[in-house]
Amino acid sequence: MSSPSTHLRQASVGIHLGALFPLLLLLIDSLLGRLSVNPIQDLTLRTGQVALILLLLSLSCTPLGRLTGWTWMVALRKPLGLYSFLYVSLHLLVFVGLDYGLDGLLISQAIAEKRYVLAGLVSFLLLLPLAATSTRAAQRRLGRWWRRLHWLVYPAAIAALLHYLWLSKVARVPILAAALLLALLLLRIPLLRQRLRRR
Amino acid sequence: MTRLIPSSAITPESLYTRRGFLGIAGALSAATLLAACGRRATEPTLSGEQPASEPRDELDDPLNSFEQITNYNNYYEFTTDKQEVARLATSFRSSPWELEVGGLVARPRIFALEDLLAFPQEERIYRLRCVEGWSMVIPWQGFPLHQLLRMVEPLPTARYVRFETIFRPEEMPGQRDRYYPWPYIEGLRLDEAMHDLTLMATGLYGRTLPPQNGAPVRLVVPWKYGFKSIKAVVRIELTEQIPTSLWMAMAPHEYGFYANVNPEVAHPRWSQASERRIGELGRRPTLPFNGYADEVAMLYSGMDLRRNF
């Protein structure tokens, strides 16, 4: 019989490997010139997709842990969230640096004219302080403010999904992803209630 | 098969292949990541040691390679993944083929593929601007649609032309997805369809049209976004009423009937001010009517192009 801590260790290893694999693949494809004939779009789409998947997985940990009784899953939130932020940052770097060539005018025009760009930027700005305060030390220093601050992950996820919905020509997959997020949010409600009651 | 372009006139593909790939691989190596990004939008991707004989469009831009044109396709009848279309389309049967032309015409008729290839085929180097914000320069062969329309003699009541793609879900896996109201439909106003730039393409780069590019016969309307240039056409109908395209049916607020390339009129959700030419790293400004304003702007004089997007 394996203990919960063994499960956690195994799951953590799986997450590190699973989350780094798409990055490795991106690097290999970039160096070998296998990024499609529209390489910048390919980089943008792939980093964005992985970021969104990891973010939704991160948000699934707590509800899934509660549902299954595998409470150790809660500990997976942080690495998944941080990996998501890594891909979000790459996504933004590709957009600003490669796609728009650091051209401030073109970028500000894009933010003003494309609402999906604005939503993506909002999502990044909401995630930034969460990544910056992900350490144990920061958690201790912030005390009960830490939890309140990290509640921002929900608006960040909503902004990320709006970003995805607004850039898609066909809404089906974004709507499925939004339904998943909604389900996760609904699952949080009873948990939140319990927590409030306990206080 | 008619092949009017001598093979010597066609750019060796090796000249174009993998340019962009090399650029991006360099740009990605961490040390040069940001250094490579300050490039101005219109600068050529790599140092411009292009031979003078390289064919170009009338704006002096080089052609995209056969490899680029045939491996990056928006063709939802196969898949929404642009890089997968070529593989999925290999078993598509584009011969025999029949194109039925009818509706408000005096002489409706069915054109076999051989009849279509019997029209004098000419080469047209056109820019193709996708609504997604990328573009290519493509050497098509084909014949102006007006030649075919004249043969069927449009009636005075005909005002629009409705085009329909083949529906063959057993060969087109994307058509098994009932989310889309197949078959693909597009439409033009009759004067747009009669314009000399409007081409029925049967080939590219001197070869028979590959299935992923819309074999055996497709429309090419170079001043409109790419989705107007319907592929694998089996039916053309002249109508009095404005046809409803597949995209108009799916998202009427986002896809209008005209869909002229217009940097001034943003798609409801994204700007159309700039584009990336496939093979280049930077972005270039999008031109009104995709650079064909001198030829086609008068078709729309007096029209509010913001309303008629």
Q: Which of A31, A38, A166 sits opposite B278 (nearest CB)?
A: A38
Averaged pLDDT for residues A72-89 = 95
Is the four-CA dihedral A45, A47, A51, A57 of positive or negative sign?
positive
Q: How many CB pairs under 8 A join A and B?
A: 94
Residue B163: how many CA atoms within 13 Å on its side-chain side?
A: 23
Nearest to residue B227, comparing CAs of B82, B111, B128? B128
Contact state of B37 with A98 under an 8 Å Cβ cutoff:
yes
CA distance B180 to chain A (A): 10
| pLDDT tens-digit readout, A137-182 | 999 999 999 999 999 999 999 999 999 999 988 888 999 999 999 9
Continuous H helices in chain B: 19-28, 66-70, 85-88, 113-118, 145-152, 190-194, 246-250, 293-296
Mean pLDDT of chain A: 91
The DSSP secondary structure of B204-255, one letter per residue, reads ETTEEPPGGGTSS-EEE-TTB-GGGS--SEEEEEEESSPPPPHHHHH-TTT-
Q: Is A99 a residue whose pLDDT tops 50?
A: yes
For A181, the token pair is: 């997020």
Q: At what angle do helices A77-93 and A4-31 cross, to 10 degrees?
A: 10
CA distance A60 to chain B (A): 28
- Asked if residue B305 is part of any domain, the answer here is no
- Asked if residue B27 is part of any domain, the answer here is yes
- Asked if residue B309 is part of any domain, the answer here is no
B279 neighbourhood in chain A, CB within 8 Å: 37
The pLDDT, as a whole number, for residue A68 is 85
d(C-alpha B159, C-alpha B243), whole Å: 10
DSSP-derived 3-state class of residue B287: coil
Q: Could you tell me if A153 and A59 are in contact, meaning their C-beta atoms sit under 8 angstroms apart?
A: yes
B179 CA to centre of own chain: 24
CA distance B19 to chain A (A): 9
The pLDDT, as a whole number, for residue A195 is 65
Specify the CATH number for the domain of residue B114. Answer: 3.90.420.10
CA distance B198 to chain A (A): 26
What residues have CB less than 8 Å from A91, skipping those under 6 apart?
A44, A47, A48, A51, A120
What residues have CB less than 8 Å from A64, skipping those under 6 apart?
A70, A73
B270, B272, B277: best to mutate for the A interface, most A CBs within 10 A = B270
Taking CA atoms, A38 is separated from A152, B85, B128, in Å, by 34, 15, 14
The pLDDT, as a whole number, for residue A187 is 81
CB atoms within 10 A of CB B199: 22
Q: Could you tell me if A100 and B271 are in contact, meaning their C-beta atoms sit under 8 angstroms apart?
A: no
Continuous H helices in B73-126: 85-88, 113-118
> Residues of B at the A interface (Cβ-Cβ below 8 Å)?
18, 20-22, 24-25, 27-28, 33-34, 36-41, 64, 67-68, 71-72, 80, 82-83, 131-132, 134, 179, 250, 266, 269-271, 273-274, 276, 278-279, 281-283
Continuous H helices in A94-167: 104-113, 115-132, 136-142, 144-150, 153-167
Pick the residue from chain A with its C-alpha nearest to B84.
Answer: A36
Query: What is the residue-level pLDDT of chain B in tens, covering all 309 positions?
Result: 444 444 444 444 444 443 333 444 444 443 333 333 333 334 444 444 445 568 899 999 999 999 999 999 999 999 999 999 999 999 999 999 999 999 999 999 999 999 999 999 999 999 999 999 999 999 999 999 999 999 999 999 999 999 999 999 999 999 999 999 999 999 999 999 999 999 999 999 999 999 999 999 999 999 999 999 999 999 999 999 999 999 999 988 889 999 999 998 877 677 788 999 999 988 899 999 999 999 999 999 988 888 888
CB atoms within 10 A of CB B159: 15
Q: Which of A40, A98, A114 sits opposite B269 (nearest CB)?
A: A114
Q: Which of B36, B72, B270 sits opposite A37 (nearest CB)?
A: B72
Is beta strand B185-189 parallel, antiparallel or unpaired with respect to B160-165? Answer: antiparallel
CA distance A79 to chain B (A): 24
Contact state of A37 with B40 under an 8 Å Cβ cutoff:
no
Domain that holds residue B284: 7-300
The pLDDT, as a whole number, for residue B281 is 84
Which residue in the block uniquely carries the two structure tokens 């002096």? Answer: B60
Taking CA atoms, B206 is separated from B114, B135, B137, in Å, by 17, 20, 15
Is beta strand B199-204 parallel, antiparallel or unpaired with respect to B207-208? Answer: antiparallel
d(C-alpha B15, C-alpha B212), whole Å: 22
Q: Could you tell me if B73 and B132 are in contact, meaning their C-beta atoms sit under 8 angstroms apart?
A: no
The pLDDT, as a whole number, for residue B262 is 94
- Span of A17-26, A35-44, B161-170, B172-181 with lowest mean pLDDT: A35-44
The pLDDT, as a whole number, for residue B33 is 37
Give the rounded percent of residues in chain A with a pLDDT score beyond 70: 94
Length of chain A equals: 199
Taking CA atoms, B135 is separated from A81, A131, A189, B24, B261, in Å, by 36, 37, 47, 18, 11
Taking CA atoms, A12 is separated from A80, B42, B55, in Å, by 9, 47, 56
Is the four-CA dihedral B190, B258, B143, B173 of positive or negative sign?
negative
Q: How far apart are the first and last CA of chain B?
A: 38
Averaged pLDDT for residues A103-121 = 90
d(C-alpha B105, C-alpha B108), whole Å: 6
Pick the residue from chain B with its C-alpha nearest to A114.
Answer: B270
Pick the residue from chain B with its C-alpha nearest to A97.
Answer: B37
- Asked if residue B220 is part of any domain, the answer here is yes
In the 8-state DSSP scheme, what is residue B271?
-
Length of chain B equals: 309
Number of domains in chain B: 1
d(C-alpha B133, C-alpha A33), whole Å: 21
Residue-range domain boundaries for chain A: 4-198
Q: Could you tell me if B222 and B292 are in contact, meaning their C-beta atoms sit under 8 angstroms apart?
A: yes
Tell me whether the omega of the peptide bond preceding residue B96 falls within 30 degrees of 0, making it cis. yes
For B16, the token pair is: 């174009």
